[in-house]
């Protein structure tokens, strides 16, 4: 029984694609570039971290109803949880160079932030890194966006 367990675990990891993702390699099913990702792989729940901070923002993306892209929200929680969280609207897509481009709006009309990120090699579509620009003061901040949930296409 003890000899069968490692073989069973290896087969299970290979079948679910986890072996490729944890080894950091680009397997046949792991896109090397965001242009190779199906749009639906962007749908679902993501965690965003800015400037290496431990604070986590929650991003929810789904199908954009008007064009081939995504639409959703980002919820930023106040430090210490004392204030109401800030919620902004998001809309974007993967551009011709393979960058994830997202516009952010606090009021639904004016752009308050712009995201530009690249798919990380070996992440199998589950991690983007890039720069977020605050439209109010033009400051830029590095971000990491990690997929935490499954796809939910109509949000």
| Local mean pLDDT, 10-residue blocks, the chain (155 residues) | 39 37 53 91 97 89 96 88 87 95 97 97 95 97 92 48
Residue-number span of the structural domain to which 17 is assigned: 1-29
Helix or strand holding residue 46 (H, E)? strand 44-50
63 and 123 share one domain: yes
9 and 43 share one domain: no
Residue 154 lies in a domain: no
133 and 106 share one domain: yes
Residue 94 lies in a domain: yes
49 and 21 share one domain: no
71 and 132 share one domain: yes
| Rg value, the chain, Cα | 17
Give, in degrees to the nearest 5, the angle at Cα 88 between 140 and 77.
Answer: 80
Q: List 146's β-bridge partners, or say none.
A: 47, 127
- Cα-Cα-Cα-Cα dihedral sign, residues 98, 36, 46, 128: negative
The C-alpha atoms of residue 127 and residue 125 are separated, in whole angstroms, by 6
Q: How many domains does the chain fold into?
A: 2
pLDDT for position 17: 40
116 and 81 share one domain: yes
| CATH code for position 94 | 2.40.128.120
Residue 54 lies in a domain: yes
83 and 100 share one domain: yes
Give, in degrees to the nearest 5, the angle at Cα 46 between 57 and 138.
Answer: 50
């Amino acid at each position: 029984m003890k000899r069968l367990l490692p073989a069973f675990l290896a087969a299970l990891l290979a079948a679910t694609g986890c072996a490729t993702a944890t080894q950091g390699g680009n397997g046949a099913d792991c896109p090397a570039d965001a242009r190779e990702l199906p749009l639906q792989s962007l749908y679902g729940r993501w965690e965003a971290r800015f400037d290496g901070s431990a604070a986590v923002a929650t991003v929810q993306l789904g199908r954009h109803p008007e064009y081939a892209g995504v639409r959703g929200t980002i919820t930023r929680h106040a430090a210490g949880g004392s204030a109401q969280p800030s919620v902004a609207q998001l809309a974007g897509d993967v551009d011709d160079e393979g960058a994830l481009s997202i516009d952010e709006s606090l009021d639904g009309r004016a752009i308050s932030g712009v995201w530009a990120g690249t798919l990380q090699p070996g992440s199998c579509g589950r991690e983007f890194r890039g720069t977020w620009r605050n439209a109010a003061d033009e400051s830029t901040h590095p971000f990491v966006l990690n997929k935490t949930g499954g796809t939910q296409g109509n949000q």
